Each structure stands twice: as C-alpha cells, then as structure tokens.
Chain A
Amino acid sequence: MKAHFGPAQSGAYSLSRLTSKHKQAEKVVLEMQDPTTGVKLQPQRLVITTIPHAITGEDIVQICLFYSEARSFGSMLVALGYIYPIQDHKRLVVKPDASLYRFQTPYFWPTQQWPVEDTDYAIYLAKRNIRKKGILELHEQEQYNHLHKWMNHKWDFIVMQAKEQYRAAKERKKPDRVVFDCQERAYWVVHRPPFFSTHLLDVLLITYSGSSMIFTQQSIMRPRVKSSVSIGALVKYCATYKGHDPFLSKCLPSNPWLTDDVTYWALNMPNVEIPTKMRVERWTFSFGELLSDPRGRDDFRLFLKKEFSGENLAFWEGCEDLKWGTAATMKEKAEQIYKTFLARGAPRWINIDGKTMEITVKGLKHPHRYVLDAAQTHIYMLMKKVNNPEFSTFNSYLVPVSFPLPIHHPSDSQLEQNARNRRPSLSPIIIRQQEQEQKAKMAASAPVDITQLCRFTTPVPHLAVYSGMTDPPSANASPSLPFLAHTPACPSPISVALDSTSASERRAEASEGESEGNPEARASAGGNVSKSRMALSLRRLLKRGCTPSSMFASLSPKCNPAAGTSSRIQPISPDEPSQAPPRRIGNFFQIKVDIPPECRIYPIESEDEDEENRAVSRERVGTKEIICPWESLTPQNGTG
C-alpha cells in the first residue's frame, strides 16, 4: 500500500550514525527544558497574540557549548529538526543573534522508528493547497503532481483527510494553531527540503563522510537493465527449458528417483554412444550448452577435426585447464599453450587478431590464471559464430539419436524389485582415474606436439598408488581394450579412427555393432575391417565364461567412441577373453579392493535378474539404434 518514491535511503552505516546523533540530540533537548539549568525562554510577540517558549539564536549557541563541545551542535539540532527557526524557516541554521527559534514537539521529532510517509506529505500538500488556494511553491507543485499520480488510488482519502485536519486545527485556539502550523511546516522543510533532490540529512552525511561518496558514485555507475528486457529473457528461458526440466515435465522413461529404474541415467551418461533426442535438442539451445555437455563437446570435437579447425577447441580447452587447474603447473601450462597455439609457426596455430595476440603475449610474460582470457573469448566467439551453426546443421540431419522411450509406469512389485536392485554407482575416484586415462589416450593419439600437454593431464602419482597401478599409464599406441558401455541396454560401440572415416560412416559402424545380424550394414561399412568388429555385450562375454578378472577388465574403462583416438581398438573377440594385457588386469584387480564385496557393479547384477526386461528394453533401444543414415531417420517403431 505504501508507494515510496523520492529521497533514496541512506546506506546502513549512515543510518546507524543518524540514530546515535538522534539519541544525543534528544538527550540534550530534554535537558535544555530544565527550568533552572535549561535555555532561556522568551515570548514571541505577534500582532494577534503572544506565543511563549521562543529562544534566540545566541542562547542556543551558548547553551550548546555548555552541553556539547562542538560549536556546530546547535546547527545539528536545527538541521535534524529538533529546533526550528521561526523566521527564515527554510534555512536550517543557527544564527548567533536575536533571531528566534522554538523547540519542535516530540510528535514531529525525526526518529528511525517512524519513517517519513509520503501519504502524510500528500495530506500536508493538499492542506496547503486548500489554504493557499493553489499557490504552492515550485517544488511543492512538482511533488503534488507526482504524488497525485502515484497515490491516485487513495487520493480521495488524502483530500478528505486534509480537509478534516484543516477543520480540526481550526478548533484550536489561535496561538496554538500558529504553533502547530509552524511545527508542521518545519517538519516538512527538514524531510522534504525544497532545494535538494535527496534528503537533506543524506546530503549532510555524504559531505561529512567521504566513503559514502564512493558508494554513491558506484551506485550511479551500476549497469541497469529494463525490467521488460530481463523479464522477457526469463520468459524465454523458461519456455526453452521447460521440457527439459525433470520437475516440470516427465522424465522418460521414468524418473529414477521415483521408480529406481536407472534407464534414464544410463541413457544420459556423459560418454554414451547414442545421445538421446532431448540431449541433442539441448545442444541447440546455445553454444555453451553444447560445450558443457561432454558428449556434445566430443561430437563437436569430431566435427571440427573433420573441418580441420580442431585447434580452436583444443586451445579453448587448454585455456579452461589453465583457469581451473592447479596453481603449481600453471606456468608450464601457459608456456605449453603458447608454444602449441600462439607462437609464430606453432604446430596448431590459432587465428586471432593482432591486438588480442599482442595483449596475450604481453600478459604471458607474467602469466596468471586468466592471462589467456582475451584470446579464449575470441576463439569462443569464433567457434560460436562460425563452427557452431555449421555443426548444428550437420548434427540435425546426419547424426542419429535415440528417441525417448515411452513413459514407464512400473507396478508395485516392479518398484520393489527396482528398489532391491539399487546399487551405488562407480566411485568418484575410479571415474577420475578413467578420465585421466582417457585424456592420456587422447593426448597420445593426437599429433606429436600435443603429447607435451599430456604430462599434466595424466593421473597424479598418489592415485596410482591407491589403485595399485604398477606402471604409469603411458600413451599406448593401441590399447587393446574394448570400450563397453555400462548398460547392456546400450551395447558397446566401437571406437574408430576419425581421420579416415566420415562421421556417418562411423555411426554406421557403431550402429552396425549392435545389429549383429545385419549383414547389410556390416557390408557397407567398408573401410578397415579391423575397426568393424562385432560389439559384445557383457552378457555374451560372461556367457563365454570369462574370468572375473577379465570381466572387470572389460568393465573398467568408459566407453568413449568420440575420444578422438586414432588407435585401432581391438575388442575382445568372443573366443579370446584373455587378450586383456595382464598389467591392465592387475590394475583393475586392485580397483576391486575399493568396491565392497557385496556391491557388484550394475551391469553384472542385471544379468541375474530381470533378464527378460533387460532384453526387451535393450531390444527396444537397439532397434532404434539401427538407424542407418542412408535409409531413414525415423525409428523403426513409433515409440518415443
């Protein structure tokens, strides 16, 4: 109901200073009233009457020196509004002569508990309007019009109240009426001063304290946005993301938190082979979304490699690594990035404008975390404006996605079973190790100069100790491990070399991996036979009687088809389970120690129970994944 406009509020610290000043002022004012020790009172003689209790300026100055050391204490009393001048009422100063002043009644004392209300000011202005028949001062006219606009809904009340107050005041005897009018007028001179746009006291305080000037200046310089613009942005954001919010829309096939069915999480793993439709749609929202999703970034990396602009993303990632990495290696990282991307004749030279390059090189003399910010921004904008649109077009037409499964409403017994099947996911330590290894592989497979960077991206020694790795994960030319997905629902794809195949071919090979019985796909894969092997689901591995150690071996690394490895990954063929190199087994055999015995990793677990379900869901997902780009883009069955 309160429409506050007008003088800005002072900062908090100045308010507290105000209160202490007030307290001091009130104390002194009350002491001044003492008939013996207080200030001398004299009558004010007017034509119509005589009004008592006036004090001269000189008396004020005298008595203020008595109560307080400061000469200006009297002026402070007047400025705050505890004493008001009778003549020259607009100038709130103490003139050390015979000019008359009077004490303000406590009702009009300025205290913080009674904030100055605009409604009261409006009533006062309306009253003055009645008395002066519309002849108000300029600032009062402005305020009146302003308040009339903002308080229009209660303007009738304001006018009514003004009239009633006017009539009530007339019931008083003349001298008292004069006094009351003076008091009220003085109150509003203090709180709605005519000459300053801000509160008079604010101005006084601001001039007395320099730090608040800085505060005020900063407030002025703060950037502002029109609320219509910011609200529009909010609306747009909500509309865009509404379908992706698990609270606002259904989570397909079902929300794991509700049904304990982890299909949704499995389908959306960071390294999943076939991303879901929703996920790919999300990448189109903004370039930032694409980059922040590891799966999206992988695809983008592949695309850039094809376009021979991979250095952009590599540089950007290097900058991120520098920004967020450990401080110890920062200097070396910065140097490496410079040697690789920025120096003249660098192997992966990025194209930034001269000015940015100049700033960057200059900053690199004293490298810090954000020294590459300017260049990174430039490259980011370049990727966003140039590569991203191309990628989006490419992505939307050529890349298959898994379509959403229909909403799954499990029965109560199903829910119970799901709850019983709940298992913890991989330990974060393991996940971090896998990431490090994957980075190492990526570094290893890239052009030679990049290996310099991998020195800083391989796992730190203490992790190796923990996991019992006997030798550091060197950059293997061809690690002979299959990359299997975590769920049998998404049978393992095969990572293939990039340089020689187009992405569509790669997809064909991947999808062909699932469709073991699809000779057509296999035949048309072409290319290197070594790349296109039949993928194996874990179940099949186990059926062939693999040893637990090899099982773990096959489980451990994340499936990462888009890792950019140029290695020819040899999947474990069905009849050669022991091909996993011993040292790797040893490695992951150690990892087993971390996992409590009763907790088995999910994909194995699922083997025992609900095979039927798994088979069904796998089939369903699998059938969708047999999308050969040259055939059609729609799924075979109309679900999802």
Chain B
Amino acid sequence: MSRWHRSVDELAARRRQHECERAQDALSRVTSCFQQLVALVGSSADGSFLRDELDETRAVAHRICSGLSCRLLRSLSNSDFAPSGVQDRQVLERLWVLFLSALEHFLYDLRKACDLIGQFPLTEHSNRRSLVNTGCVDGVVGVAARVASVQLPWLTSEVEPSPDLTNHITGLETMMSEMQQRVPVAFWSVEATQPAWAEARGEPDDLVESLEDLMEVEVIAGSKKTACCGLGCVG
C-alpha cells in the first residue's frame, strides 16, 4: 500500500515538475516579447496600441510569475517530506534558480519600461514630436499574437487583477526577496545542463539569416552615392 502511495507521490511530483518547466518556458517567451515591445517605447512606432500591448503582456507575465512562484515554493518547502530523493530536489533547485534569474531579468526590463513611459508620456499630441525616429514603423501584431499563444493550466483559472506598473515592480521585488529568504538554495550548486556553444548547433529547421544578409545593399554600378555594402562590415 505504501509503495502505491509512494508512486502516486512520485507521479504527482513529476507532474508538478513538468508544470514548472513549462511555466518557465512560457515566462521566457512572454518576457522576450515584452522586451520587443519595450524597445519601441519612445520611438516613432510608439502609440497607444503599443502601450496596451505592454500592459497585456505584463499581466500575462504577472500571472505566470505568481503561479510559478507558488508552485516552486510549495515543492521546495515540502520536498523534505517527499521521498523523491536528491535528484528531484536538484531539478527543483535548478528550476528555482532559473526562475529567479528570469524574474531578475524581467524586473530589469520593467524598470526600463517604467522610466521610458515616464519620459515619453503620450498624453498630448505634441509629445509625439519628440519621439525618436529610429526607423521602426511596425505595429507589433506578431509579437502580441505570440504572447497570446501562451497556455498554462492556471492562466485562466487563477485570474486576479493585474497591478499597474509601479506596483508590479514592487510586487516582484518583494516576491524575489521573500522567495530567497524562505528557501535557502545555493546558486553555485546548480550547473548548466548543456555545455557551452551547444545552442550554435541546434535549430536545424530554422532559416537563419544573419544581419549581414539582411543588410545587403543593392550595389548600383558606378554610383558613388551608395554606401558600402553590408557584407563589408563583418559582425
């Protein structure tokens, strides 16, 4: 009977672990989309649509973070009782460290966003004159769609009102410090699962275009006005 209990526990633990891993992936996805959006704040592509998308993305990220932090805290606090063993604990600790790194990274972008929105308020039409002409014109529809494609079991179930930007920042900061205080995890004990340079070999199905290819300038023969072709600047 106890063996059955144990296997049930193990299965539950594994399910939780998978859940956390998927949540981590989702968080990475949402935060990278957020970065694409924040990079447009203050530029000529800035607008109310962008600001709305920023808030939406932030809300999704907030839901992922709160759910993931709860689950991780629960797993790591309880793992003393679970007969899962050292391996599972190590995996959980790895997820813990990755989550905290992601949180820190996201906080960095959030702070930037806060400053930029403060610097470039779009309340009046005259503000638009000072938006920096960076060359971007696109709406970020594709990015927004990517955010919307994120699916997690608790995203729809555990719906709470998302905070505004400043509260979000302080909330995340408190969450981070709380987590670090409640569960002592040694960061240096976590190791990378893949060796260095591994990502260079991956993604065979992608059509990778380097920046040089994209920047290729049409060489008009005899024209002195054309700037040198992009292939000249290797990098």
Q: Give A residues with C-beta under 8 Å from B.
A: 1-2, 29-31, 33-35, 41, 44-48, 51-54, 86-90, 98-100, 102-108, 111, 113-114, 117, 119-120, 123, 126, 129-134, 137, 144-145, 148, 152-165, 167-169, 171-183, 185
Contact = CB atoms under 8 A, between A and B. Distances in A.
Contact of B32 (A1, A165, A178): A165
Contacts of B33: 168, 171
B6 to A, nearest CB: 29
Most chain B beta-carbon neighbours within 10 Å: one of A90, A106, A174, A182: A106
Contacts of B209: 131
29 contacts: A1-B101, A33-B133, A34-B130, A35-B129, A46-B216, A52-B133, A52-B137, A53-B135, A87-B230, A103-B132, A103-B134, A106-B43, A107-B112, A119-B105, A120-B105, A134-B197, A152-B192, A153-B190, A154-B97, A156-B192, A163-B202, A163-B203, A171-B143, A172-B140, A175-B138, A178-B211, A178-B214, A181-B211, A183-B134
Contacts of A104: 132, 134
Contacts of B232: 87-88
Contacts of A129: 197, 199-200
Given A33-B131, A106-B41, A114-B112, A154 B217 contact: no
A597 to B, nearest CB: 60
B162 interface: no
Contacts, number: 239
B94 A171 contact: no
A153 B211 contact: no
A55 to B, nearest CB: 9
Contacts of A145: 196
B116 interface: yes
B38 interface: yes
Contacts of A117: 105, 108
Q: Which 8 A-B pairs have the closest CB atoms?
A: A171-B142, A106-B42, A134-B200, A155-B192, A154-B101, A53-B133, A164-B32, A165-B32
A172 B143 contact: yes
Nearest to B108: A117
B218 interface: yes
A168 B208 CA distance: 14
Contacts of B192: 148, 152-153, 155-156, 159
B203 A156 contact: no
B143 A34 contact: no
Contacts of A34: 129-130
A165 B35 contact: yes
Interface stretch (B12-20, B23-31, B153-161): B23-31
Contact of B133 (A86, A103, A165, A178): A103
Contacts of B194: 155-156, 159
Given A90-B235, A114-B108, A183 B39 contact: yes
B182 to A, nearest CB: 16
A632 B21 CA distance: 77
B178 to A, nearest CB: 15
B215 interface: yes
A173 B138 contact: yes
A126 B196 CA distance: 9
Given A53-B134, A174-B214, A105 B40 contact: yes
Contacts of B41: 106-107
A52 B120 CA distance: 21
Interface of B: 24-25, 28-29, 31-33, 35-36, 38-45, 94, 97-98, 100-102, 104-105, 108, 111-112, 115-116, 119-120, 129-138, 140, 142-143, 145-146, 187-194, 196-203, 208-211, 214-218, 225, 227-228, 230, 232-233, 235
A126 to B, nearest CB: 6
Contacts of A41: 133
Given A107-B116, A130-B202, A46 B191 contact: no
A163 B105 contact: no
B188 A153 contact: yes
Contacts of B187: 1, 153-154
A168 B146 contact: yes
A155 B194 CA distance: 8
Given A98-B227, A119-B101, A171-B143, 8 more contacts: A1-B100, A31-B130, A33-B130, A33-B133, A41-B133, A105-B132, A137-B235, A168-B146
Given A89-B233, A156-B194, A164-B29, A45 B101 contact: no
A114 B111 CA distance: 8
A176 B116 contact: no
A33 B217 contact: no
Nearest to A152: B192
Contact of B135 (A2, A52, A113): A52
Contacts of A165: 32, 35-36
A65 B131 CA distance: 22
A519 B201 CA distance: 99
B219 to A, nearest CB: 9
A522 B200 CA distance: 95
Given A53-B133, A159-B198, A164-B29, A180 B36 contact: yes
Nearest to A133: B200
A46 B214 contact: yes
A1 to B, nearest CB: 6
Nearest to B38: A107
Contacts of A53: 44, 133-135
Contacts of A175: 135-138
Contacts of A113: 111, 115
Contacts of A157: 28, 97-98, 101-102, 105
B136 A180 contact: yes
B87 to A, nearest CB: 16
B135 A162 contact: no
Nearest to A99: B227
A169 B232 CA distance: 24
Contacts of B28: 157, 160-161, 163-164
A508 to B, nearest CB: 63
Nearest to A161: B28
Nearest to A181: B211
B102 A30 contact: no
A103 B200 CA distance: 31
A97 to B, nearest CB: 10
A35 B132 CA distance: 11
Given A105-B42, A106-B132, A107-B39, A177 B214 contact: yes
